[in-house]
């Protein structure tokens, strides 16, 4: 009995020692900052004047009458929709193409994945040169006889440019996830369907898509949450402009805190962003039963 | 890796990034009480001063002055460190340091942010220490140079640089295009913005490079256009900072001129095109004379005053102040160092790059002694006369928000078919609430 209890105690000790780093890390770097952000959001905090005054829900009430926030949310929606649709569609297409047993596929897989490991800021700076009025993209277009727009100076093309730069940066990661899922689709199911006379599209729709649906869910969540966190690309490429066309929520939050010294209001915006991410993720998680194969 | 796992990690990541960004608590307590003679600390202290220059010659000069101070006051300081923060993000990085409870002891401050910093209580009053320092000759400081940095009787920063804006010209390119030399036009009284535009357009066409660059504007930092619109006697807001004046006829005319110079005459680089005069990419540039240090001998150049506009000639100076943070650890020692750093003797050395606000040093001869790249005639014409009756770039207590709002509104102006008057009307509509704040 004594031996058993000692063993239990040892297990207990080993177990808690193992989880201690992650628990302590989460407490220090996730839970505590989250709590502090909520606390700051209830204050007016002017760094220059060194004032920190409790204002209750004032920062939250201010959101309702802040036209800049409406514009930022709209820009965020456009950015997220553009990014999610283009990224997932392109990643799936590339994965399907590179899932063929053809020579050279490994080279192409490496090619499309390589931007993922490039420094984000370096990647964006290179694109900022390419996207200039007299940059590489328009130079290429002029060789083809077309005249490209001044990409980063018009609201619509600036948003398109930011989305495309982000898609090319991360599409490789999603492609690899889709590739792994595609390779897990049993060949015998495809074979059976083929014998039943199903064409390529029918097999893709009725066998491949349902079987990779857990990965589609995973990729959707990563991409949507990622789209809400975009900052460096906006800062480097457009600075939120032209006008406020690419001022997405995170960039707006940054402006409020670090440019306008409105740390209290920025904290309230951070809480709003947190809630948006939470709600979107929960919605997706709840909806999985309807369309994710493993959950049926 | 499970979906659950990823979701948790991503959410945690979001929270951590946002949390840590805002969780840097400010614990420093400041006071705007004046500082006096520093008490000898129990141990010599380390001072830190943030600057936006990365020019090694300038930093070496600062360091040599600082080292001399350390040698003279070993009981007070053990070191003075100059920390460069890039120009573009300077104020943001500075306020982030303040928010994080990591205030530098001393900092350079842009003139645009002067009212905000001065009125905030973040800086200590330097007047007592500067007036009280033996041999400082406070009365030698030009009163008009101090105005921006004063609040009541207090002086919250020392305007260490009063650098007039002037036009640098690449005489090689201009001559190759067969255009008149701006120096001759200055002598003849024909040096106007229209003449500058015509020379720039013709030179750019010939060289295949750019014409006239308003340096640091880049279709973002619109306040740098003050060097142009001042020729029309235009301003973005009234002197008391309460009324928007973007829609005044003078401003509409000035902005129309600028817009046409870019889009009709191709005399200036279009949005999205970068051109560095000092690398030989452009025929002329409007910038401060403190940038002369960036010139090498790769091309022939000259420097002339700002051109005349329809409302005559208006000098514009770019000021920069240096202040001592109340939230710093050793404000009294920092103020004592500042009094040493900017005394008459050191101001003369600093004049090589930063025209000082000292009457005794504002003459071509003194400045030329410190400025090997410029002749005393050039300095007399550009600096000494340039500081007289000069205006500064726009400044306001609410400048951070105004700057961003005006930038966003003016973006609509930087397209070929822009309606200048309509854009400026929208700009006023957007900034009026901020001016009234």
B116, B398 in Cβ contact below 8 A? Answer: yes
**Does the residue B28 lie in any domain?**
no
**Does the residue B226 lie in any domain?**
yes
Residues A113 and A224 reside in one and the same domain = yes
Q: What is the DSSP letter of B147?
A: G
pLDDT of res. B36: 58
**Does the residue A219 lie in any domain?**
yes
Contact residues on chain A for B120, CB-CB shorter than 8 A:
46, 48-49
Residues A18 and A150 reside in one and the same domain = no
Report the pLDDT averaged over residues B185-191.
Answer: 93
Report the pLDDT averaged over residues A126-135.
Answer: 90
d(CA B204, CA B270): 12
Residues B48 and B98 reside in one and the same domain = yes
Residues A131 and A244 reside in one and the same domain = yes
Please compute Rg for chain A using Cα positions.
24
pLDDT of res. A117: 93
Q: How confident is the model at residue A294 (pLDDT cuts 50, 70, 90)?
A: low
Q: Provide the domain count of chain B.
A: 2
**Does the residue A158 lie in any domain?**
yes
Q: Minimal Cα–Cα distance from B55 to chain A, Å?
A: 23
Residues B242 and B382 reside in one and the same domain = no
**Does the residue A57 lie in any domain?**
no
Of all residues in chain B, what percent carry a pLDDT higher than 70? 90
- The answer to whether residue B198 neighbours chain A at the CB level (below 8 Å) is no
Q: How confident is the model at residue B52 (pLDDT cuts 50, 70, 90)?
A: very high
**Does the residue B297 lie in any domain?**
yes
Q: ipTM, 2 decimals?
A: 0.80
Residues B143 and B43 reside in one and the same domain = yes
**Does the residue A58 lie in any domain?**
no
pLDDT of res. A296: 45
Q: State how beta strands B106-110 and B150-151 pair.
A: unpaired
Minimum mean pLDDT range among A268-282, B109-123, B225-239, B380-394: B380-394
| Nearest residue, CB atoms, B22 vs list A37, A46, A226 | A37
Residues A29 and A84 reside in one and the same domain = no
Decide if pLDDT at B366 tops 80: no
- The answer to whether residue B415 neighbours chain A at the CB level (below 8 Å) is yes
The CATH number linked to A247 is: 1.10.3720.10
- Which of A241, A233, A102, A126 lies closest to A170, judged by CA? A233
Inter-chain CB proximity A49 and B122 less than 8 Å: yes
pLDDT of res. B370: 65
Q: Minimal Cα–Cα distance from A19 to chain B, Å?
A: 15
Minimum mean pLDDT range among A27-31, A104-108, B29-33: B29-33
Report the pLDDT averaged over residues A234-260.
Answer: 92
Q: Between the ranges A48-62, A170-184, B247-261, B390-404, where is the mean pLDDT highest?
A: B247-261
Decide if pLDDT at B15 tops 60: no
Residues A123 and A155 reside in one and the same domain = yes
Residues B92 and B193 reside in one and the same domain = no
pLDDT of res. B5: 43
Residues A100 and A241 reside in one and the same domain = yes
**Does the residue B341 lie in any domain?**
yes
- The answer to whether residue B42 neighbours chain A at the CB level (below 8 Å) is no
Residues A244 and A286 reside in one and the same domain = yes
**Does the residue B25 lie in any domain?**
no
Residues B42 and B156 reside in one and the same domain = yes
Residues A135 and A226 reside in one and the same domain = yes
Give the chain B residue whose CA is nearest to the CA of A133: B272
Residues A104 and A230 reside in one and the same domain = yes
CB pairs under 8 A between A and B: 149
Report the pLDDT averaged over residues B181-186.
Answer: 94
Report the pLDDT averaged over residues A123-141.
Answer: 91
| Nearest residue, CB atoms, B117 vs list A48, A229, A260 | A48
Average pLDDT, chain B: 87
- The answer to whether residue B239 neighbours chain A at the CB level (below 8 Å) is no
SS (H, E, C) chain A: CHHHHHHHHHHHHHHHHHHHHHHHHHHHHHHHHHHHHHHHHCEEEECCCCEEEECCCHHHHHHHCCHHHHHHHHHHHHHHHHHHHHHHHHHHHHHHHHCCCCCCHHHHHHHHHHHHHCCHHHHHHHHHHHCCCCCHHHHHHHHCCCCCCCHHHCHHHHHHHHHHHHHHHHHHHHHHHHHHHHHCCCHHHHHHHHHCCCCHHHHHHHHHHHHCHHHHHHHHHHHHHHHHCCCHHHHHHCCCCCCCCCCCHHHHHHHHHHHCCCHHHHHHHHHHHHHHHHHHHHHHHHHHHHHCHHHC
**Does the residue B238 lie in any domain?**
yes
Q: How confident is the model at residue A249 (pLDDT cuts 50, 70, 90)?
A: very high
pLDDT of res. B388: 67
Contact residues on chain A for B28, CB-CB shorter than 8 A:
50
Residues B181 and B260 reside in one and the same domain = yes
Task: List the structure tokens of B51.
Answer: 């600057």
> pLDDT for A187-236, tens place per residue?
999 899 999 998 989 999 999 999 999 899 889 888 998 999 899 999 99
Inter-chain CB proximity A225 and B11 less than 8 Å: yes
Range of the domain at B296: 165-315+395-436
pLDDT of res. B34: 54
CB contact set of B303 (below 8 Å; sequence gap of 6+): B166, B167, B168, B169, B289, B292, B374, B378, B382
- The answer to whether residue B178 neighbours chain A at the CB level (below 8 Å) is no
Residues A119 and A238 reside in one and the same domain = yes
Q: Minimal Cα–Cα distance from A160 to chain B, Å?
A: 16
**Does the residue A36 lie in any domain?**
yes
Of all residues in chain A, what percent carry a pLDDT higher than 70? 97
pLDDT of res. A203: 92
d(CA B251, CA B299): 35
**Does the residue A144 lie in any domain?**
yes
Report the pLDDT averaged over residues B393-398.
Answer: 90
Q: How confident is the model at residue B35 (pLDDT cuts 50, 70, 90)?
A: low
- The answer to whether residue B27 neighbours chain A at the CB level (below 8 Å) is no
Give the chain B residue whose CA is nearest to the CA of A28: B16
Contact residues on chain B for A240, CB-CB shorter than 8 A:
408
Decide if pLDDT at B198 tops 70: yes
Residues A112 and A211 reside in one and the same domain = yes
Q: Provide the domain count of chain A.
A: 2
Between B180 and A51, residue with greater pLDDT: B180
**Does the residue B6 lie in any domain?**
no
Decide if pLDDT at B12 tops 90: no
Range of the domain at A280: 64-295
Residues A6 and A115 reside in one and the same domain = no
Backbone angles phi, psi at A243, to 5 degrees: 60, -130
**Does the residue B41 lie in any domain?**
yes
pLDDT of res. B363: 79
Contact residues on chain A for B273, CB-CB shorter than 8 A:
132-134
């Amino acid at each position: 009995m004594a031996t058993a209890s000692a063993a239990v105690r040892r297990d207990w000790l080993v177990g808690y020692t193992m989880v201690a780093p992650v628990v302590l890390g989460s407490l220090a770097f996730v839970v505590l900052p989250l709590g502090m952000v909520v606390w700051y959001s209830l204050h007016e905090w002017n760094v220059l004047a060194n004032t920190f005054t409790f204002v209750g829900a004032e920062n939250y009430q201010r959101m309702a009458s802040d036209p800049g926030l409406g514009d930022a949310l709209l820009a965020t929606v456009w950015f997220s929709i553009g990014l999610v649709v283009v990224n997932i569609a392109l990643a799936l297409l590339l994965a399907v193409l590179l899932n063929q047993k053809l020579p050279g596929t490994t080279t192409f897989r490496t090619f499309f994945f390589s931007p993922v490991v490039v420094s984000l800021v370096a990647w964006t700076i290179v694109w900022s040169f390419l996207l200039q009025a007299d940059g590489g993209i328009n130079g290429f277009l002029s060789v083809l006889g077309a005249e490209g727009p001044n990409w980063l100076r018009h609201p619509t093309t600036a948003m398109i440019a930011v989305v495309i730069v982000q898609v090319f940066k991360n599409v490789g990661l999603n492609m690899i996830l889709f590739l792994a899922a595609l390779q897990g689709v049993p060949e015998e199911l495809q074979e059976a369907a083929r014998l039943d006379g199903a064409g390529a599209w029918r097999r893709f729709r009725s066998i491949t898509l349902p079987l990779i649906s857990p990965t589609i869910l995973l990729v959707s969540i990563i991409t949507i949450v990622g789209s809400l966190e975009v900052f460096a690309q906006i800062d480097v490429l457009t600075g939120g402009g032209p006008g406020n066309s690419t001022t997405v929520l995170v960039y707006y939050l940054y402006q409020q805190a670090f440019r306008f010294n409105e740390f209290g209001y920025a904290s309230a915006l951070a809480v709003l962003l947190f809630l948006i991410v939470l709600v979107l993720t929960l919605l997706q998680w709840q909806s999985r039963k309807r369309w994710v194969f493993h959950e049926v | 890796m499970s979906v659950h796992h990823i979701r948790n990690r991503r959410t945690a990541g979001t929270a951590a990034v946002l949390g840590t960004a805002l969780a840097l608590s400010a614990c420093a307590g400041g006071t705007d009480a004046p500082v006096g003679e520093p008490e000898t600390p129990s141990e010599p202290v380390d001072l830190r001063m943030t600057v936006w220059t990365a020019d090694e010659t300038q930093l070496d000069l600062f360091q040599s002055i600082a080292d001399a101070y350390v040698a003279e006051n070993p009981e007070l300081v053990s070191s003075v460190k100059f920390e460069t923060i890039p120009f573009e993000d300077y104020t943001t990085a500075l306020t982030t340091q303040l928010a994080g409870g990591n205030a530098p002891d001393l900092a350079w401050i842009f003139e645009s942010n002067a009212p905000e910093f001065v009125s905030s209580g973040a800086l200590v009053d330097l007047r007592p220490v500067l007036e009280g320092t033996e041999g400082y000759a406070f009365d030698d400081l030009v009163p008009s140079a101090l105005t921006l940095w004063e609040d009541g009787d207090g002086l919250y920063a020392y305007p260490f640089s009063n650098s007039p804006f002037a036009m640098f010209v690449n005489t090689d390119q201009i001559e190759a295009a067969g255009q008149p030399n701006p120096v001759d036009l200055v002598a003849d009284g024909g040096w106007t913005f229209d003449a500058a535009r015509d020379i720039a357009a013709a030179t750019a066409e010939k060289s295949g490079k750019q014409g006239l660059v308003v340096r640091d504007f880049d279709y973002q930092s619109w306040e740098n256009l003050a060097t142009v619109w001042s020729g029309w006697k235009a301003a973005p807001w009234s002197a008391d900072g309460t009324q928007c004046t973007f829609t005044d006829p003078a401003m509409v005319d000035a902005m129309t001129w600028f817009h046409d110079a870019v889009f009709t005459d191709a005399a200036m680089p279009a949005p999205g095109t970068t051109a560095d005069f000092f690398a030989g990419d452009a025929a002329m540039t409007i910038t401060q004379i403190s940038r002369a240090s960036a010139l090498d001998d790769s091309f022939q150049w000259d420097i002339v005053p700002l051109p005349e506009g329809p409302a005559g000639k208006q000098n514009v100076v770019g000021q920069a102040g240096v202040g001592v943070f109340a939230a710093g650890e050793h404000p009294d020692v920092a103020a004592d160092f500042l009094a040493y750093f900017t005394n008459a003797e050191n101001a003369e050395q600093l004049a090589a790059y930063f025209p000082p606000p000292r009457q005794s040093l504002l003459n071509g001869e003194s400045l030329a002694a410190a400025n090997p790249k410029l002749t005393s005639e050039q300095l007399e014409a550009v600096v000494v006369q340039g500081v007289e009756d000069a205006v500064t770039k726009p400044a306001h207590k609410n400048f951070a928000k105004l700057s961003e709002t005006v930038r966003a509104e003016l973006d609509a102006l930087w397209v070929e078919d822009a309606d200048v008057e309509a854009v400026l009307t929208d700009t006023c509509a957007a900034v009026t609430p901020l001016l009234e704040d």
